[in-house]
Structure 1
Amino acid sequence: MKKIIFLIGILILFSCKENKSEERIPVEPDNGIGDGAGPPPALSFSENIEEAHNKVAFMTHEAISFEIKLKFGEKTQLDARISIMTNSTGVRVDKADGTSIIYDEKTSVITPASAKTEGARFDLFTWQYFFAMPFKLTDPGTVWEVQEKRKLDSLEYNTAKLSFEAGTGDSPDDWYIIYQDPETGRIKAAAYIVTFSKEQAKAEENPHAIVFSDYEMIENVAISTKWSFHNWNETDGLGEKLGEAEITDIKFFVPEENYFKTPENSRIINK
């Protein structure tokens, strides 16, 4: 009888250990019951940022547009109005020189057809992504890795690395290290590499960072209106300032039917 009781005790002990082990690894937020564990840390990081910027309000609108003046050194890199479908199905860049670059979910074109295409695809996808980044952190194909705290201007920030599954977007080998402002929960900065037209290893030799500041509330959505660009490395963080951008005249709008469609007198732009 004592042996039986002893065996039962051992079985109960192992059963408790197994249950505790399972509780540490929820397969879905709150263990699927809504009142238990929180979501996995990496998911929580990205969702918290989206919430701080009010992604829900952002996505209630069809499209948003803004003026951008981008300078590197004394040179104006871009002076344009950029329009974006909030669900990422359309992008339009109308430059001050009369050139327009348009993405309609399938095709990227430039108009007029005689316009120079050098750098056009980069301008079409890069700047709109920086603008919309706080609302795209949990898009399909995003991969998150929570990392250690990092310093930025002597202050510590929670950080996580954002990368992408193969086949995601125009440059799936890009990655970003996102800095979250501990007071507001918003994005403070993002270190990044640009693999556009180059190998990832080569791009990683020269990482940069964008710092977001001067947030404004546009119909209850938090949007940064000043960006600065810097050299960046893992040891020292921000380095020399390289450029800056001013974002103005931000408006949500309902686009006309053909606003993001391929116009006449245009040609396709490829990588």
Structure 2
Amino acid sequence: MKKIILLIVIATIVSCKNDAKPATQKEEIKKESFPDELAKVFEKHGGIATWRKAKTLSFNKGEEAHTSDLQSRKIVINSPKYSLGFDGKEIWLDQADSTAFKGNKDFYYNLYFYFYAMPFVLADDGIIYEKVDSISFDGTNYPGYKISFKANVGTSSDDNYKVYFNSETYQMEWLAYTVTFKAKEPNNEYHIIKYNKWENVDGLVLPNEITWYKMDKKGMPTKPQGPATVFTLPLVSEGKLGTSFFTKPNVQ
């Protein structure tokens, strides 16, 4: 039901936007600068230009509906037992039962947004790109790039990512990442995810299914850690949601 309401809200916004008079001021075009191979990865997944035009991203993970404003990175997660989100200033949690949400809201609120919005979040501002050695799985080598952040960029600027892609198609295949949440020093222990399935969502190729894998001593993926995480009800829109959509319920 919440997804249906969201679709109606966005459809209304887009309709009003289309009825508005054309702007007289020229739209500023952002100059992109990526390594050539990564640029091809972005293009394979729908292109940076398509990503930049999008304003709202939504998907379901189980009973959770995750909705994000792609420009401000405000987020809200709605489920039958709790809601949590980021309103631009504060990370909030709303639940009738204090035991309903068992995680850390500050860590969790944008966790799956980053996993789902791959590879495009690797085109954010303040990113440093570095070519890394390939990884191998089932006899296939996957070239990759390490993505790190300039100091004080985002909530965890010491986090690192490594994106690996198919050398022929340039489709993203793997993501390795570190977690430094509230840690005093950078963490060099990587986790790795296999991007199993993709789907076209209004011109953007976004993940439908991902699986965490175990790694050997050389950092190569070996076998799944558990069942796949499946994303459903994807939505990408150029419509922008109002501020109130991301605020804590019952807060004026």
TM-score range, shorter chain: 0.7 to 0.9
Amino acid at match of 1:86: L
Runs of 4+ in 1 over 6 A off after TM superposition: none
Match of 2:45 in 1: 53
Structure 2 unaligned blocks of 5 or more: 1-31
Work out the number of aligned pairs and report it: 215
Larger Rg: 1
Give the aligned residue type for 2:169: T
Q: Kindly state the Cα deviation for residue 117 of structure 1 after the two structures are TM-superposed.
A: 7.0
Query: Quick check: 2:55–2:71 contact (8 Å CA) kept in 1?
Result: yes
Instruction: Give, as a single letter, the amino acid of the residue that structure 2 aligns with 1:160.
Output: Y
Gaps (5+ residues) in structure 1?
A: 1-38, 70-78, 267-271
Distance apart, 1:167 and its partner CA? 0.9
User: Amino acid of the residue matched to residue 178 of structure 1?
Assistant: V
The residue aligned with 1:155 is 140
- For 2:241 and 2:191, the matched residues in 1 are separated by 37
1:59 match: secondary structure: helix
Please say if residues 164 and 172 of structure 2, whose CA atoms lie closer than 8 Å, have aligned partners that are also in contact.
yes
Is 1:187 the counterpart of 2:187? The answer is: no
- What CA distance in whole angstroms lies between the structure 1 residues aligned with 2:173 and 2:198? 10
Task: Assess, with a 3 A threshold, how the Cα gap between structure 1 residues 48 and 199 changes in structure 2: closer, same or farther.
Answer: farther
CA 1:177–1:83: 2 relative to 1, 3 Å: same
The answer to whether the 8 A contact 2:57-2:235 is kept is: yes
2:224 to 220, 225, 241: 241
Give the C-alpha shift of residue 265 in structure 1: 5.5
Do the aligned partners of 1:50 and 1:137 also contact (CA within 8 Å) in 2?
A: no
How do 1:14-163 residues align onto structure 2 when only pairs under 5 Å count?
A: 43-54=35-46, 55-69=48-62, 79-97=63-81, 99-112=82-95, 115=98, 118-163=103-148
Quick check: 1:227 aligned with 2:213?
A: no
Q: Deviations over 1:204-245 (max 9, x none)?
A: 24x210111211111121111000002335615113422321
Which deviates the most, 256-265 or 44-53? 256-265
Shift of 1:114: 6.4
Rounded to whole Å, the distance in 2 between the matches of 1:167 and 1:158 is 28
Aligned equivalents of 1:233 and 1:170: distance in 2? 29
Could you say if the C-alpha distance between residues 61 and 177 of structure 1 is closer, same or farther in structure 2, counting changes exceeding 3 Å? closer
**Relative to 1, partners in 2 of residues 1:88 and 1:231: Cα closer, same or farther, differing over 3 Å?**
farther
The one-letter code sitting in structure 2 at the alignment partner of 1:165 is K
Q: TM-score when scaled to structure 1?
A: 0.71
Residue 245 of structure 2 corresponds to which residue in structure 1?
Answer: 259
One-letter code of the match for 1:223?
A: L
CA distance in 2, matches of 1:233, 1:164: 26
